């Protein structure tokens, strides 16, 4: 798939497309902070949750990911990005075009995504959600909405 993506980028894509390969962990946060869009077109479930999706959202980047990535559930919120309908290189390119043509890359939404991650998938948000689950098990409170639901319900 990488070869096809490189060919497509070279023939029709913007000059700013980069294929970097692995980065040292010490460079990841700075790299993600400079992204407009992170694309994670996983073909298998081998990527599991794909923490990079949440890391990119925390840095303000929009994300495009396949449904093979567990964190793609965070993309049910359309301001965060979108889930690929297909991992065919042309479909991936089409998804990138769609995000670029939308308002999702606006600086206001970049800031919104940073707050969304803090409110929904940070360690603190996870702890709040766990407490709410435990309270529901004890019968003290109803079962909470999923952690990725609207921030106002957390």
Please determine, for residue 12, whether its predicted confidence score (pLDDT) is greater than 90.
no
Do residues 76 and 148 touch, judged by C-beta distance below 8 A? yes
pLDDT of the residue at 63: 97
Please determine, for residue 153, whether its predicted confidence score (pLDDT) is greater than 60.
no
Convert the pLDDT of each residue in 109-146 to its tens digit.
Answer: 999 999 999 988 888 988 988 999 999 998 888 988 87
pLDDT of the residue at 65: 95
pLDDT of the residue at 148: 67
pLDDT of the residue at 13: 56
When comparing pLDDT for 154 and 25, which is higher?
25
Convert the pLDDT of each residue in 55-106 to its tens digit.
Answer: 999 999 999 999 999 899 999 899 999 999 899 989 999 999 999 999 999 9
Please determine, for residue 18, whether its predicted confidence score (pLDDT) is greater than 80.
no
- Reported pTM: 0.79
When comparing pLDDT for 23 and 17, which is higher?
23
**Coil, helix or strand at residue 148:** coil
CB atoms inside a 10 Å sphere around CB 153: 10
pLDDT of the residue at 154: 32
| CB within 8 Å of 53: residues ≥ 6 apart | 38, 40, 63, 65, 69, 71, 72, 74, 75
């Amino acid at each position: 798939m990488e070869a096809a993506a490189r060919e497509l980028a070279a023939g029709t894509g913007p000059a700013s497309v980069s294929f970097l390969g692995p980065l040292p962990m010490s460079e990841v946060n700075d790299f993600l902070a400079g992204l407009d869009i992170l694309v994670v077109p996983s073909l298998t479930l081998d990527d599991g949750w794909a923490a990079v999706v949440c890391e990119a959202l925390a840095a303000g980047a929009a994300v495009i990911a396949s449904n093979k990535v567990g964190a793609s559930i965070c993309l049910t919120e359309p301001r965060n990005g979108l889930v690929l309908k297909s991992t065919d290189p042309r479909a991936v390119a089409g998804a990138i075009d769609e995000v670029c043509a939308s308002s999702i890359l606006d600086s206001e939404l970049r800031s919104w995504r940073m707050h969304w991650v803090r409110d929904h998938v940070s360690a603190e948000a996870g702890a709040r959600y766990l407490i709410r689950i435990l309270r529901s098990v004890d019968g003290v409170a109803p079962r909470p909405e999923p952690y990725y639901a609207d921030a106002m319900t957390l």
